[in-house]
Structure formats: structure tokens, C-alpha cells
Chains A and B, each alone.
Chain A
Amino acid sequence: MAHKTVDVLLVEDSAADIDLVREAMEGGKLLINLNVVRDGEEAMDYLRRQGKFKNALRPDLILLDLNLPKKDGREVLREVKADTELSLIPVVILTTSSADEDILHSYQLHANAYIAKPVDFESFIKIVNQLTDFWLSLVVLPKK
């Protein structure tokens, strides 16, 4: 059964990049509730519903940048996929780098998908829409 709104957790430290994701999601088909955390430690607190995130909603999808302050994206990915509960949430790496090592390493840590952010914004809009359509509308996710 499809949810009316979907919850997406964006882990991203740059305000400019956060706004780009918001703009790209605007006008999309789905009603997305976008929650943002600015570093790896906050990401884990949010997912574990600790500290100031006691009432956080479990996200349907995590968009994760690799280069984050404090705990970096690779650490977050490792911890999420090592946790029996959290590993069920699809994690899409959304990052600047298109380096082979980063791509390989991410998949080795069991990222569900890897996307290198394009320089062209029109392309980015397409990517974000395809991404959310795929993971939040097309595929079937395990029940929360």
C-alpha cells in the first residue's frame, strides 16, 4: 500500500547543496517530507532516535553525501548497513566524486546506489525525480 507522504533523510553539510535537492524535489510527483542532518554524528543520532532526535521518523530513503564533517559518509554507511534494523533502509550515495575508488568502496559497504552529482542542474532535477520515483514509488520496500 503506498504511503501518502514519504520520508527522506538527506545527510548533507552544504547549505547550497541542500537547497538544490529541495528545488529539484519541488514539482515532483511524490509528496516528500525532507529531513536534513548536517553531519555524520547527527545522521546516526537521527536514525537511532537519540538526543534531540527522539521523535524522528524512520526514513523510507537515505540520501547520503560522502564527505561530511565529524563522522564521514563512509562511516555512516558502514554503521547503517551493519545495523539489523537500519540496514533495511535503502541508502543512495549522492556525492561530488566520480572516482572509481569511491564508487567501488561505497558498493562494497553495501550502498544501494551511487550517484555523482552533475554540474548541470537540469540533469540533477531529472536524477532526483528518477531516484525518488524508483525508490519510493516503483520498488516495494519492507514494511516499517
Chain B
Amino acid sequence: MIDQIPAPNFEKIFETAMGLQLILLPDSPRFTIVAVSEPYLKAVQKNRDQMLGKSLLEVFPKTKDADELIISLNQAIKTQMPATFSLQILFAKQPGTEAPEFKADFWNLTNTPVLDGSGQILNLVHRIELADPQALALVEAKELLEARVNKRTQDLLRSNTELEQFAYIASHDLQTPLRHISSYVQLLTNKIRKTNTLDDKSEKWIKYILSGTVQMKNLISDLLSYSRIGRVDIKVEEINTVEMISRIKDELKDSIHKTKATIFFDQLPMVFGIKSQIEQLFLNLIDNAIKFRATGVDPIVTIKVEDLEAFWRFSVSDNGIGVDSKYFERIFLMFHRLHSQDEYLGTGIGLAICKKIVEFHDGKISVNSDGNSGTVFSFSLPKKETVTAKNSSQAEI
């Protein structure tokens, strides 16, 4: 029996139990405040007299959010449906008051039209709620993560630049005394030779000294090359692989002629990357293929390519001395050599440089061999579409 149920005190309910709310007149753009809840008063540090009869905009912080608020209210009026939007609001705690402190948080503002029987808008209920705490936490976590990533990137860039500068200075300052040692040993040798007192042993020892300086010179150059690979400000472009291999063949023409080497290659696609690095990559692999040839066997180098959708997979294979499977990983480490300097010349950085270049281009490199009759180096390089897609999606973030 409805008569016996006591009617709830809607006014009291509104003022105390409904959260942060205002009731407004739909008198756009003034939006007169006709009721305020206690929690709202506490949040904005005002009492009821200061708010009733005033325009909402007098109370609302004068930021660009105020424009959005008007738009939302008008939308609620026009569509006769609740309109919500989010923003960050900072409610400050006044010193010495009991008012609760509110952090700068995401709040949802909802403006709900209240209609009479004939579809006219009587009031707008303006409600403020804390946005979903989980969604909030997610946003905060994302912002924190991005800040960390940015800082990490800056640190890496700085570290890379420092490494390059260090390598440049170190190599430069090392080369000068090296040059002096080498040159004056040669000058001394020439002088002593004229007195005819140099025996075979002495000549041999002098050779050791001079080849030591050459080895050092090569090491310094290779270290410098290695340190330069991390640079991010170098132009990335489309590279004509076939033209590049021809250039490499020309550069290696002396050793190709001497060893009677042949280099076969498929129809190779254009690749996308840093020209000088990709050229260094192929050069090192082809040079190795020729260098580590089997005695009495003319080296044959074959370059093939496989289409892997987002990547091209290249392989450089030879018919040389091969690599034992237990060294498959180690050979890509810096300075790791499988043979002595007397057997095969080299600094041991060549493959480390190849690995760094491939990985800098987001690819992978690996080796296969039966340890006997030849070796295959395979590496992947991204296609142009893959790189440009990645770059544009990163730019969006």
C-alpha cells in the first residue's frame, strides 16, 4: 500500500548521498546553478550561498575545458541524452580545512537532461565522478613507461655518441705513435742495411715488428668501423644490391684474380638500409668466402635470396674450409678467430661487424657448415615496406 511508505526526502538524498552533483537550468550558455550537493561544495571549497543562482562557468575553472563543458551541456540539451566527457581536475586542499584532498585525476563529467512529460528539459544534472581507477592506473602506467622509454633512448643515444667519439679519438691518437714506430723502424733498417750487418734473424725480427704495426693499424680501423655502426642519424635509403655487388667485385678484383675466384649471384632485390653498412656487410662476407678457401680449390662464392614476406633472406655460400659447428656462435664475437694470423690474415672483427650491421637493421644472421666443404652465411634484411610501416607507427606513439 503506497500511502503507508514514507516518501524519501529527495532533497536530502540529492544533497548528501549522490556524490558530486549540481542541478542546472538549461539556460545556455549561463547554466544557472539551482542545487549543489555537499560533496561538491567540499570539493570546490565553497558554501551553498556562494553557488546558488550563479552561472556554472563562474564556478568552473577557466580553462579550455570550460569550452568542452559548454559543448557537452548543449549536446545534452540537443540530444536529450546524457553527455559525458573526461578531463583532469585538480581539487586542492585548503590549508587548515577539513575538506578532503583530491589529486589531479581523471574525472568523468556527465550532464544528464531531466525532461518533463512533454519532452521539455527542466534541468540538467551535472555529475562528476572519478574515472574508472583501473583505466586510470593503465593511463598512468603507460605514461610512466613512455617516460622511461624516452629516457632510456636518450641515454643510449648519448652513450652511442660517446662511444663513437671515444673510438675516434682513441684510434686517431693511437695511429700517430704507431706510424712513428713503423716508419722509424723502416728508416733504421734501411740505415743498418747499408752497413751490411743485418743477418737473416734480424731481418725476420724486423718483419715481425712491422707486421705487428700493420696488425695494429687494421685493428684500429676495424674498431672504428665497429663503433660507427650504432649511429642513428645516417640516411636510410633504397640500395641497388646488384650494383653494390659489382662494386665489391671491383674492390676485391686483385684477390679475385689471384685466387681465380668466381662470384655468382641471383637476381637480387633492392634492399632498404644504410648503404655504407650494407656494402660493408656483403664485402666482409664475400672477402671471407674467398679468404678461407681450401688449398688447391678455386673459391666459388654464391649469393642467393629468399622472399620471406616482410624480410629478404640472403645467403652467401662458399666451397672453402668450412666452420666446425661448435664455433657457430663464437665466430660472431669480436676478436674471436679460429685460425692463427700466420694461416689466415685478419683482425677477427669482420663477422662481429656483420652481426652488428644486420641487427642494427633489425635482421638476424647465422651460419651453417659441415665443417669441411664450405660455409653458408644467412642473414635477413627488412623490406622497405616493413621499415617504413614500423617508422610511421612509432611516430604515432
Residues of A within 8 A of B (CB): 14, 16-17, 20, 23, 67, 96-97, 99, 117-122, 124
Distance between Cα atoms of A124 and B210 in the complex (Å): 15
| CB contact between B172 and one of A14, A97, A122 (< 8 Å): that residue | A97
CB-nearest residue of chain B to A15: B180
B176 contacts A20, C-beta separation under 8 Å: no
A121 contacts B187, C-beta separation under 8 Å: yes
| CB contact between A120 and one of B172, B176, B184, B186 (< 8 Å): that residue | B186
A23 to chain B: which residues have CB within 8 Å?
A: 187
**CB proximity of B96 to chain A, nearest CB, Å:** 64
User: With A119-B175, A119-B213, A119-B214 in contact, do A99 and B186 touch (Cβ < 8 Å)?
Assistant: no
A119 contacts B217, C-beta separation under 8 Å: yes
CB-nearest residue of chain A to B168: A99
User: With A14-B176, A96-B175 in contact, do A121 and B168 touch (Cβ < 8 Å)?
Assistant: no
| CB contact between A16 and one of B172, B184, B213 (< 8 Å): that residue | B184
B168 contacts A96, C-beta separation under 8 Å: no
B178 to chain A: which residues have CB within 8 Å?
A: 119
| CB contact between B183 and one of A20, A67, A97 (< 8 Å): that residue | A20
Selected A-B contacts with CB under 8 Å, 28 pairs: A14-B176, A14-B180, A16-B184, A17-B176, A17-B180, A20-B180, A20-B183, A20-B184, A20-B187, A67-B172, A96-B172, A96-B175, A96-B176, A97-B172, A99-B172, A99-B224, A118-B179, A119-B175, A119-B182, A119-B213, A119-B214, A120-B182, A120-B183, A120-B214, A121-B182, A121-B183, A121-B187, A122-B186
CB-nearest residue of chain B to A23: B187
Identify which of B179, B213, B217 gathers the most chain A CB atoms within 10 Å of its CB: B179
**CB proximity of B384 to chain A, nearest CB, Å:** 25
B180 to chain A: which residues have CB within 8 Å?
A: 14, 16-17, 20
Taking CB atoms and an 8 Å cut-off, the chain B residues in 175-215 that contact chain A are 175-176, 178-180, 182-184, 186-187, 210, 213-214
Distance between Cα atoms of A14 and B168 in the complex (Å): 20
Interface residues on B, range: 10 to 19
**CB proximity of B267 to chain A, nearest CB, Å:** 32
Identify which of A20, A118, A119, A124 gathers the most chain B CB atoms within 10 Å of its CB: A119
Distance between Cα atoms of A96 and B184 in the complex (Å): 16
Distance between Cα atoms of A23 and B217 in the complex (Å): 22
A20-B187, A99-B224 given; 6 more Cβ-contact pairs under 8 Å:
A17-B176, A17-B179, A23-B187, A120-B182, A120-B214, A121-B182
A16 to chain B: which residues have CB within 8 Å?
A: 180, 184
| 10 A-B pairs with the lowest CB-CB distances in the bound complex, closest first | A121-B183, A121-B186, A16-B180, A119-B217, A119-B182, A96-B175, A119-B179, A96-B176, A20-B183, A97-B172
**CB proximity of A6 to chain B, nearest CB, Å:** 24
CB-nearest residue of chain A to B176: A96
Interface flags, B201-238, vs A, CB<8A=1, else 0 = 00000000010011001000000100000000000000
Distance between Cα atoms of A99 and B220 in the complex (Å): 12
B187 to chain A: which residues have CB within 8 Å?
A: 20, 23, 121
CB-nearest residue of chain B to A20: B183
User: With A16-B184, A23-B187, A122-B186 in contact, do A117 and B179 touch (Cβ < 8 Å)?
Assistant: yes
Distance between Cα atoms of A20 and B184 in the complex (Å): 8
